[in-house]
Amino acid sequence: MTEKAVQDYYPDDIAVCYGCGKLNEHGHQIKSYWEGEETVCRFQPKPYHTAFPGYVYGGLIASLIDCHGTGTAASAKFLEQGKPLGSEMLERFVTVSLHVDYVAPTPIDKTLELRGRVKESKGRKMVVSVTLSVEGKETARGEVVSLQMPADFLPKNK
């Protein structure tokens, strides 16, 4: 895929998140892309992401849903404002609430597919629903409530 991922449009000074930060060499470095009205992320778990033999640890699933959801929110807000991706850096969104339902065991040896869809956009708040599936079978679903990061959220570097 040649198009840039949503996370590639985050400013470098805040692209260090463990789940989605392109500059965090130890993190997941997920990549989310728009496909029509939803975002898609594909992720291949590593053997150390295990809960028990053959299955993914639930904390990884929550992390993926969280970061895919906030990436969806940031890019959806940008597009909602009529700005094309790449015209400027995206403003980050931070998680206010994360709800995850685990509906079936998630195999560790298959590619995970996350799909995000905006449920609500109201001012600085975005609600995104995310499903996680493996080979077309849903194994988890979640909802991410996020807010546009306030300008004073991060300490200023001197």
Task: Determine the 3-state secondary structure of 128 from DSSP.
Answer: strand
Please give the DSSP secondary-structure letter assigned to residue 66: H
CA 41, 27, 150, 88 dihedral sign is: negative
Task: State the pLDDT confidence band at 154, using cuts at 50, 70 and 90.
Answer: low
Q: What is the pTM of this model?
A: 0.93
Q: What share of the chain is helix, strand, coil (3-state, %, to 5)?
A: 20, 35, 40
Percent of the chain residues topping a pLDDT of 70? 96
List residues bridging with 23 in a β-sheet: none
**Pairing relation of β-strands 137-148 and 93-102?**
antiparallel
Residue 122 is predicted with a pLDDT of 96
Alpha-carbon span 95 to 149, nearest angstrom: 9
CA 150, 64, 41, 137 dihedral sign is: negative
pLDDT at position 41 over 70? yes
* Structure confidence by residue, pLDDT tens digits, 23-39: 999 999 999 999 999 99
